[in-house]
Structure 1
């Protein structure tokens, strides 16, 4: 699944601390503590401050660039293969540029040839130090992001369970189903038995749907056939279901009850009449997407909605790091396209 870059932690104090550390190390290397503070010392420390700030900020920019390109924690080796040589090369060139500028301006005592060569080693040490700190910041950013998303997913799952529970005991759906069953018992015992069997399948699935976060399309279709059978028995020829599913897509995954929510949404918000039948099409495309569409014939009187259906589905796919669902409405149709998830083996 495609990964999203981690939200960067506020590392201002880490950067300030790191730059300050470099300046203090410069003062220690020049043994500034052994002599009274002088103009020469001030120049050396100011040079170190500017050089350290530029080095840290540019190295940080390089590191963050490759963190965005290779955001996974398991890609750390790939990131380092790019980051370390680039940062090392920049650090050496930055030191040489600063030293050359000092020499040509006589800012303080000129640098020796050995000092220039020493930057090759010190540049590598600084590269490892900055890279290690920034990668640690990134690692904790990813951990915090994962923890937040896990908590959000738990809340979404809890909301789904509550919504599912409401559906399980939905008085309107249950009343209509029982009313239809009562009518069939007196009119057609065979159809009543078939209706009761499908009704049991529907409620059995609803009771078990929260055991797994994802289910395969084949299982969802099996459930939607039973669910639609109940609706069809009630609405008759006023309601139709067309399925055009590629067999190769049946083992792909999607969040449980996705199809039920989409079908329920179509039935809830559209007129269903023998003169204006409602047709729901469920199909898959070659690009691994599934589309649920229906002819648009909105009810004149607005139906009360808690906005759970589409927003719940959208949240699920977002938390699963999947592409966004697409909702389209034309003058004649309402379409929802969702990505099917390739199972991991």
Structure 2
């Protein structure tokens, strides 16, 4: 991953650091140094840090065109160039500040030379550390953004997989049911086709959508349940206890509810005497889907991918968990409603 330099932020940090260092030296000279050179030495400290900072930024921009900011070559060349330049900056600024301060002693001495070398090394190290903190912050932001993109892509891929899983299984059962209905009740078969067409139209038109309104999800689910009711008769009963107004307020990951119904039909026995009763209601910020539990005695093969997929998508979209509860009589799944 390439890291882009935030030049404006780095330069602003250079000016801020220069102002802080200049203020510190001003206070030191004010109490301990010669008053006639107070402003000259303060100016030397301020300009020195500011120039070192801007030179470091300019060099990083040049090096970033050839090397990755995180590469060893970038760090090596930056170090080899900025330290000598930092010392040179102080040595170039010194004659100007000495002239402004009416400096009477020899312009160049060994102690002054050592002081400039030490100042250049110290200030360049400080500037480098501060600039590196900005680079690290920018790198972290980009890394976090990349992780979020990967998580979103993963959620979308799983979402599309779930949608694709719906079609073959659904069509196989739907066509078999339709054939049986036409042999028994043509009017019901016609009604079945209407719901099947609506179901397929929604499934196809919403292929690219990750989120759907609660109303869209319930409409899609209602088509599915009506088709199953025609197939199983009064052995399947369902109640949706959510007002039209409430349905407009919330969203869900697309195709969240239909796999839950399919799961209930797959794992439960239901007859006219002991029907499967499904209830869908809103409890606060949660949508609760429950059914009476009448487990099949014969084990039904299942990968549980639908429920696992839904749970994973909810963690990615909202950070909430899908709450599953089961006792001897009731099985329920609670999913957090997402505010539009």
Which TM-score bucket, shorter chain as reference? 0.5 to 0.7
| 2:337 is aligned with 1:335 | no
Distance 1:227 1:246 in 2: 19
| 2:237 is aligned with 1:237 | no
2:291 to 276, 291, 294: 294
In the other structure, the counterpart of 1:22 is none
Can you give the 5+ residue segments of structure 1 that lack an aligned partner in the other structure? 1-24, 30-125
The TM-score, its normalising length taken from structure 1, stands at 0.57
The 1:131–1:216 alpha-carbon spacing in structure 2 relative to 1, beyond 3 Å, is farther
Cα distance per residue 1:184-241 (max 9 Å; x no partner): 2233222111111111111122222322110000011111110001111111111111
Greater Cα radius of gyration, structure 1 or 2: 2
Residue 278 of structure 1 deviates from its aligned partner by 0.8
Residue 131 of structure 1 deviates from its aligned partner by 7.9
Distance 2:323 2:145 in 1: 25
Can you give the 5+ residue segments of structure 2 that lack an aligned partner in the other structure? 1-20, 26-125
Residue 310 of structure 1 deviates from its aligned partner by 1.5
Name the SS of the counterpart of 1:211 in structure 2.
Answer: coil
Cα distance per residue 1:249-271 (max 9 Å; x no partner): 31211100101111111111111
1:1-345 correspondence to structure 2 within 5 Å: 134=133, 137-170=136-169, 173-251=170-248, 252-286=250-284, 288-343=285-340
CA contact (8 A) 2:199 2:224 kept: yes
CA contact (8 A) 1:293 1:334 kept: yes
Residue 247 of structure 1 deviates from its aligned partner by 3.5
Distance 2:206 2:321 in 1: 23
CA RMSD of aligned residues (A): 2.6
Q: Which range is displaced more, 302-311 or 216-225? A: 302-311
The 1:129–1:247 alpha-carbon spacing in structure 2 relative to 1, beyond 3 Å, is farther
In the other structure, the counterpart of 1:88 is none
The 1:293–1:138 alpha-carbon spacing in structure 2 relative to 1, beyond 3 Å, is farther
CA contact (8 A) 1:168 1:207 kept: no
